[in-house]
Amino acid sequence: MNIILKNNNTLIFDEFQFRCCVGKKGITKKKIEGDKKTPRGIFSLGPIFYRSDRNKKPLSKIKLIDIKKNMGWCNDIKNSKYNKLIKIKENIKHERMHRKDKKYDFVLLIKYNFINPIKKKGSAIFIHCTKNFKGTLGCVALKKSDLLVLIKLINKNTKIEII
């Protein structure tokens, strides 16, 4: 069973409907790094990253990874680790996974441009937490409690379909 993102503010899984938000500039089939758009398509999911220093381990059938202070997601188009989890180094551009705000308390990877990533096609596309439902930089965001329900329901075969 797939997660369906049928418009810019509704995510559906089975009989559950969740309010969500997407990229500030909407959804696109032609994603470019930094365009503030969410990629359109069908994508695999996982793993789930979480902050164990703030939250208990969530119930999930998907692999869980505890976020450490030195973890980042490479968005450096000049680096061979583009769109992959990295240990933070000052000379590599990255998205910090260990954040002061609570957006990344729980993060579900959307495997967009993930296997054999194409430079400049976009990186660090996640489902993460939000409190205000303002547009993201390209991710999908849910209320923390809704994301925890979703994490509990999905499995390793679940995909997200962004229409």
> With 90 as the cut, is the pLDDT of residue 21 above it?
yes
User: Coil, strand, or helix at residue 10?
Assistant: strand
- pTM assigned to the model: 0.96
> With 90 as the cut, is the pLDDT of residue 7 above it?
no
Query: Is there a contact between 144 and 106 (Cβ–Cβ < 8 Å)?
Result: yes
Q: For residue 88, name the pLDDT band (cuts at 50, 70, 90).
A: very high
Q: What is the mean pLDDT of residues 54-81?
A: 96
CA-to-CA distance for 85 and 71, rounded, in angstroms?
A: 7
The structural domains of the chain, ordered by start, are 3-162 (2.40.440.10)
Q: For residue 1, name the pLDDT band (cuts at 50, 70, 90).
A: confident
Q: What is the mean pLDDT of residues 21-27?
A: 98
Q: What is the mean pLDDT of residues 11-19?
A: 96
> With 90 as the cut, is the pLDDT of residue 140 above it?
yes
Pairing between strand 3-7 and 10-13? antiparallel
**What beta strand segments (E) does the chain contain?**
3-7, 10-13, 16-21, 27-28, 38-39, 41-50, 64-66, 71-74, 85-87, 94-96, 106-110, 126-129, 140-142, 159-162
